[in-house]
Structure 1
Amino acid sequence: MFSAGSPSPPTCSLAVGNWEASVGRIRAPGSRPGPAASRQKRHPAEWAPVGLGSHSLRSVPLVFDRGLWLCRGADSPAPTAQPCSPNSHAAPGPREPGRAWTDPGMWGYLSLLPMCLAFWAIAGIWTVFSLAVVNKAVNLTDGFPYISVCGNVPPQSCIFSQVLNIGAASAAWICILRYYQLRDWGVRKWHNQVILWTGLLCALGTSIVGNFQEKNQRATHLTGAFLAFFVGILYFWLQLFLSWRMKNLPQPGAPWIGPLRLVLCSACFILEVAMVVLHSWSMRSISAICEWVAAMLLFILFGLLAVDFSRLDGCTLCLQPGSGSLRPPPDSPTSLHVQL
């Protein structure tokens, strides 16, 4: 259960059975905690797990921040204990210039999300293509088909919709995590919001493409395709421009990751323009090939975000009551943080 501490100074604690975690530090009841100042200055990496029979309890870092999410990684400053109240809105600062990266030993679990998205999307649409060929929904002797043509007829249309819907949800989740990571790195709010909304529009367009087949809703389908392809590549161009503009922005991964992204973005944009031009010239087969390659490059660009997420240790959900909401009961917390 969660319980609020004494009014002076206010703290938060988590009680599990006969054990208590106070300000992210687990201790047994009856034992004397260290001085408050020393507890506040300790980094979560120094908190050792406490054995409990054949099990062990991991330390529970309580991080207080404004907004809904806080992505905590190796580049973020060490958290400090803050009062458990809605007025606690201390935001982490940007990475100090010249600060060396620390080797976390292994990638965080959040880095699996971009990789899973890339694998899921690439495998999914090629599965749809294979089913369309096997079911003779497309005829390769007439030319190479567009991606949407392969997903026009059931049952592959059902799989096509499911693949793109799950991919769109994963892409939106990645964009939100990326937004809070860039915020913690010190990116300006309006710059960061433009990047976020382009990514969310790309995810929305992907879902529209999957749910509105070309033969049923052509105008809606083409609108979704525009958002997925052209707004999607804009999402990565904006991040490239940001990394070029902000020289002190952290650059995780090998030095060739940045140039690789530049090459992929350039190739993807050229292929998208060529796709539209060749389609207008009635060169449908070559245009379809450009579409397939451009889609693969977009999936790879999303997958490369795993390099940036490798520096994240986890993500914390923060729920805070609004200013106009009713006052909570005395024994309920005013702020709840859940470590994901």
Structure 2
Amino acid sequence: MSLWMILPVSLPALTITGIWVVYAMALYNQHVCPVDNWMYNQSCEEDLSMQRGPTLCCTLDDVPLISKCGTLPPESCFFSLICSTGSFMVMVIVLLRYAHVIEKHQNCVLNTASLSTGWICSAGLIMVGNFQVDNAKVLHYVGAGVAFPTSMLFVCLQCALTYRLAKTQGEYSVGHLRLSMTLLAFVALVLSGVFFVQESFVLQHASAIFEWVFCVIIMLFYGTFAFEFAGISSDTMMVLARGGVLGSTSRDHKMESLSGANSHQSEGTAML
């Protein structure tokens, strides 16, 4: 069992814990309203950051969207760190998954497309984390517009790839798990986007909830790669070092060895 399986498990553990810490910091500093608060006002007599009573007056500017939680310091610094670290881990996981598929099976359009979408998603995530929505709104929304759709596309491609390569009952079970997570993520993303453009306070708050659900599901999806990463070996790294040709070469050697063994067996049978 390879220690590389720790990497996909570490990604959701780090990011999910990190964004909830960011939310807790933003809530403590009264930069956003609690997720369990569904009461909003058109305006307040004083800013949320100036209120210290048990009853808070919340407006649409205080909806606890993930990006909103990481807008103001000090939580913005931690939010940037989490997004940058998470994006780097995503790039490594996507690359290792790409090489592992080539080593164990063969390269295909689904595998190459997954690599591309995964890296594009990482670039969008870096933009989201380092360009806060209140300080660089255009760049932040560009990053979000890149990260969210490509992350959804990535899990769809990986779900299809899992079923295509599955041979054992365990591999099909992993495929079923990923399919369920993909469907839930798709529903959460659609509802988050639809509710986000509405003017209703309740729907805006619901959009934030579904955004959290979507991000958590996507991170947990990456965690399922621990099943494949348990079989990563030095040959997987050689796939990357040789530009993806090791998988084909290894299969050729195996076929040659098998043919040679069959030839020797036939000669031995003929001599008998």
- For the aligned pair, the TM-score class normalised by the smaller chain equals 0.7 to 0.9
Aligned pairs (5 A) from 1:48-197: 107-140=1-34, 141=37, 142=58, 144-197=63-116
Q: Which residue is 1:51 aligned to?
A: none
Q: Which residue is 1:79 aligned to?
A: none
Asked if the contact 2:191–2:207 (Cα under 8 Å) also holds between the matched residues in 1, the reply is: yes
Q: Which residue is 2:193 aligned to?
A: 276
In structure 2, how many angstroms separate the alpha carbons of the residues matched to 1:174 and 1:235?
A: 12
Q: 1:255 to 1:193 in 2, by over 3 A?
A: closer
Q: Which residue is 2:213 aligned to?
A: 293
Comparing 142-151 with 205-214, greater Cα deviation is found at 142-151
Asked if the contact 2:151–2:218 (Cα under 8 Å) also holds between the matched residues in 1, the reply is: yes
Q: Which residue is 1:199 aligned to?
A: 118
Task: Give how far 1:260 is off.
Answer: 1.3
Task: Kindly indicate which of the two structures has a greater share of residues assigned to helix.
Answer: 2
Q: Which amino acid aligns with 1:225?
A: A
1:267-297: per-residue Cα shift (whole Å, max 9, x none)? 1011101111111122210000000000000
In structure 1, how many angstroms separate the alpha carbons of the residues matched to 2:132 and 2:174?
A: 36
TM-score by length of 2: 0.72
Aligned pairs (5 A) from 1:222-233: 222-233=141-152
Q: Which residue is 2:237 aligned to?
A: 316
Asked if the contact 1:144–1:286 (Cα under 8 Å) also holds between the matched residues in 2, the reply is: no
Unpaired runs of 5+ in structure 2?
A: 38-57, 243-272
Q: Which amino acid aligns with 2:190?
A: V
In structure 1, how many angstroms separate the alpha carbons of the residues matched to 2:19 and 2:87?
A: 13
Asked if the contact 1:125–1:147 (Cα under 8 Å) also holds between the matched residues in 2, the reply is: yes
Q: Secondary structure at the match of 1:153?
A: coil
1:130-167: per-residue Cα shift (whole Å, max 9, x none)? 00011111133537510000000001000000011000
1:320-340: per-residue Cα shift (whole Å, max 9, x none)? 8xxxxxxxxxxxxxxxxxxxx
In structure 1, how many angstroms separate the alpha carbons of the residues matched to 2:142 and 2:106?
A: 30
Q: 1:243 to 1:110 in 2, by over 3 A?
A: same
In structure 1, how many angstroms separate the alpha carbons of the residues matched to 2:75 and 2:92?
A: 26
Q: 1:250 to 1:311 in 2, by over 3 A?
A: farther
In structure 1, how many angstroms separate the alpha carbons of the residues matched to 2:158 and 2:128?
A: 25
Asked if the contact 1:108–1:311 (Cα under 8 Å) also holds between the matched residues in 2, the reply is: yes
Task: Kindly indicate which of the two structures has a greater share of residues assigned to strand.
Answer: 1
TM-score by length of 1: 0.58
Asked if the contact 1:185–1:249 (Cα under 8 Å) also holds between the matched residues in 2, the reply is: no
Q: Which amino acid aligns with 2:219?
A: F
In structure 2, how many angstroms separate the alpha carbons of the residues matched to 1:192 and 1:319?
A: 17
Q: Which amino acid aligns with 2:101?
A: L
Comparing 251-260 with 294-303, greater Cα deviation is found at 251-260
1:173-219: per-residue Cα shift (whole Å, max 9, x none)? 00100111111233334432211000101111111110011011212
Q: 1:186 to 1:271 in 2, by over 3 A?
A: same
Q: Which residue is 2:173 aligned to?
A: 256
Asked if the contact 1:252–1:308 (Cα under 8 Å) also holds between the matched residues in 2, the reply is: no
Task: Give how far 1:251 is off.
Answer: 5.8
In structure 2, how many angstroms separate the alpha carbons of the residues matched to 1:319 and 1:194?
A: 20
Unpaired runs of 5+ in structure 1?
A: 1-106, 321-340
Q: Which amino acid aligns with 2:25?
A: L
In structure 2, how many angstroms separate the alpha carbons of the residues matched to 1:305 and 1:274?
A: 27
Asked if the contact 1:276–1:287 (Cα under 8 Å) also holds between the matched residues in 2, the reply is: yes
Q: 1:243 to 1:218 in 2, by over 3 A?
A: same
Task: Give how far 1:316 is off.
Answer: 3.3
1:20-68: per-residue Cα shift (whole Å, max 9, x none)? xxxxxxxxxxxxxxxxxxxxxxxxxxxxxxxxxxxxxxxxxxxxxxxxx
Asked if the contact 1:253–1:307 (Cα under 8 Å) also holds between the matched residues in 2, the reply is: no
Higher relative contact order (CA 8 A, sep 6+): 2
Q: Which residue is 2:258 aligned to?
A: none
**Could you tell me the percent identity over the aligned residues?**
31
1:238-265: per-residue Cα shift (whole Å, max 9, x none)? 1222233x3x545694653221111110
Q: 1:303 aligns with which of 223, 229, 253?
A: 223
Superposed CA RMSD? 2.0
1:81-128: per-residue Cα shift (whole Å, max 9, x none)? xxxxxxxxxxxxxxxxxxxxxxxxxx3100000001110000100000
